[in-house]
Amino acid sequence: MSSAASPVLPAASAPIRVMVVDDAVVVRGLVSRWVNEETDMAVVASLRTGREAVDQIERINPDVVILDVEMPDLDGISALPLLLQKKRDLIVIMASTLTLRNAEVSLRALALGAADYIPKPESNRAVTTSTTFRRDLVEKIRHLGAARARRAGVQPAAARPAALRVPDPAGRPQPGVARAEGAGAALHGVAAPIRLRPFGAIMPRVLLIGSSTGGPQALTQVIAGLKAVIAKAPVLITQHMPPTFTTILAQHIARACGYPAREAEHGEVIKAGNVYVAPGGRHMLVTRRDNIPVIVLDDGPPVNYCKPAVDPLFTSAAGVWGPQILATILTGMGSDGALGGAEIVHAGGNVIAQDEASSVVWGMPAAAAHAGICAAVLPLDQIASRIVRAFSGVS
């Protein structure tokens, strides 16, 4: 007697349950309204303090918490571990204004288990008029909430279709919501084959890294394993981050690798033994001056809604180092880095992407992987060792 396996049906779709925790009533009201206007998410609680959030987390059972850093009674950084203790799979997005102290606190929160952070405009009035803050917040909730739902075996509710980003006639990436084929497949849980390219035979002389959501934690882990590489090659990093935050990120990277790491300066010569971080609010590119590679900081418009963006770094580097580039694309939303990565591959260089299982959001690395430009797609804990091998001449 033969038997057939029963089909596995997806769980019913459900909106992302959002808890907003902020002591400013204006912020709570605006964020609640923005979230409730989306088809795939809903606010289930709007609270004033971290203490209220900790006391009510189990009863309300949200998927995502927007957690202000500065609040009375119990602030965000103190509430965070208590929230995660009560709900281990909770997605927490820290919200803070752009100060050095808040940048440090936000990055510390990532190490304590927060999934991401979002910089708030400095005044309530600015919050009401900032389309960037609204768009970034909604997209972070959507992507992080959907990733959590997939891990739990739940089909996320459908969002409104987003605009596709297309190149202009000259091939330059245009601003828009990056939704490349791979990123879209990852967002909606559709499996697609990944075809890897063989590693190029030329040993790399420079390492480029692009990252976004989940990037600070991933960068710290990868950089810590690259001391042998940094000693003989420069490392250039573009992490989607605002001003002030990149200053603190560079300090964290320096502590992790033991080499000088700082925000790049316009016109400085690029040297081995140094890590250069794109400063928030400016694109980092490279060029040659008297045949010597130098940093170029560009104040042009955002690319892929990001500034700094990864594509300008990758594309400019392809024309400077060509086949001597190894580029790595880590966790992040959207598809930034895929077009620039294609330019690197066209010039003879190599691209490595982080795999889905170890990514906080598999958007940027997914776009590169499904575009067929990667020589390897690896778990985060294997990326550093693979980079070391490449810089040792092992393909």
Q: For residue 125, what pLDDT is reported?
A: 77
Domain coordinates of the chain in residue numbers?
13-156, 181-391
Rounded distance, CA 226 to CA 363, Å?
24
Tell me the pLDDT tens digit for each residue of 303-343. 999 999 999 999 999 999 999 999 999 999 999 999 999 99
Tell me the pLDDT tens digit for each residue of 163-207. 333 333 333 433 333 333 344 444 444 456 799 999 998 999 999
What are the φ and ψ backbone dihedral angles of 389, each rounded to 5 degrees? Answer: -60, -45
Mean pLDDT value of segment 261-274: 98
Tell me the pLDDT tens digit for each residue of 230-250. 999 999 999 999 999 999 999
Q: For residue 159, what pLDDT is reported?
A: 61
Beta bridge partners of 328: 209, 352
Instruction: Yes or no: say if 330 and 358 are a contact pair by the CB < 8 Å rule.
Output: no
Q: For residue 157, what pLDDT is reported?
A: 65
Supply the residues annotated as catalytic: 212, 240, 336
- Pairing state between β 283-289 and 292-298: antiparallel
> Looking at the domain covering 13-156, what would its CATH class be?
alpha beta
Q: For residue 188, what pLDDT is reported?
A: 43
Mean pLDDT value of segment 77-88: 97
Domains 13-156 and 181-391 share a fold: yes
Name the average pLDDT for the chain.
88
What are the φ and ψ backbone dihedral angles of 354, each rounded to 5 degrees? Answer: -75, 145
Mean pLDDT value of segment 99-111: 89
Q: For residue 154, what pLDDT is reported?
A: 64
DSSP conformation class of 167:
B
Q: What is the pTM of this model?
A: 0.86
Residue 153 has pLDDT above 70, yes or no: no
Q: For residue 155, what pLDDT is reported?
A: 62
Least confident window among 134-143, 144-153, 280-289, 325-334: 144-153
Tell me the pLDDT tens digit for each residue of 271-301. 999 999 999 999 999 999 999 999 999 999 9
Closest C-alpha to 357, from 333, 373, 335, 381: 381
Instruction: Yes or no: say if 319 and 380 are a contact pair by the CB < 8 Å rule.
Output: no
Q: Which DSSP helix (H) or strand (E) runs through 224?
A: helix 215-224
Asked if residue 308 has a cis previous peptide bond (ω within 30° of 0), the answer is yes
Q: For residue 7, what pLDDT is reported?
A: 40
Residue 91 has pLDDT above 70, yes or no: yes
Higher pLDDT, 52 or 129: 52
Percent above pLDDT 70 for the chain: 87
Residue 117 has pLDDT above 50, yes or no: yes
Q: For residue 187, what pLDDT is reported?
A: 41
pLDDT band of 99, cuts 50, 70, 90: confident
Instruction: Yes or no: say if 304 and 176 are a contact pair by the CB < 8 Å rule.
Output: yes
Percent above pLDDT 90 for the chain: 76
Rounded distance, CA 36 to CA 34, Å?
6
Instruction: Yes or no: say if 245 and 280 are a contact pair by the CB < 8 Å rule.
Output: yes
Residue 383 has pLDDT above 70, yes or no: yes
Q: For residue 360, what pLDDT is reported?
A: 94
Buried b vs exposed e over 272-288: b needs ≥16 C-beta within 10 Å? eebbbbbbbebbbbbee
CATH architecture for residues 181-391: 3-Layer(aba) Sandwich (3.40)
Mean pLDDT value of segment 351-364: 96
Q: For residue 100, what pLDDT is reported?
A: 82
Q: For residue 160, what pLDDT is reported?
A: 55
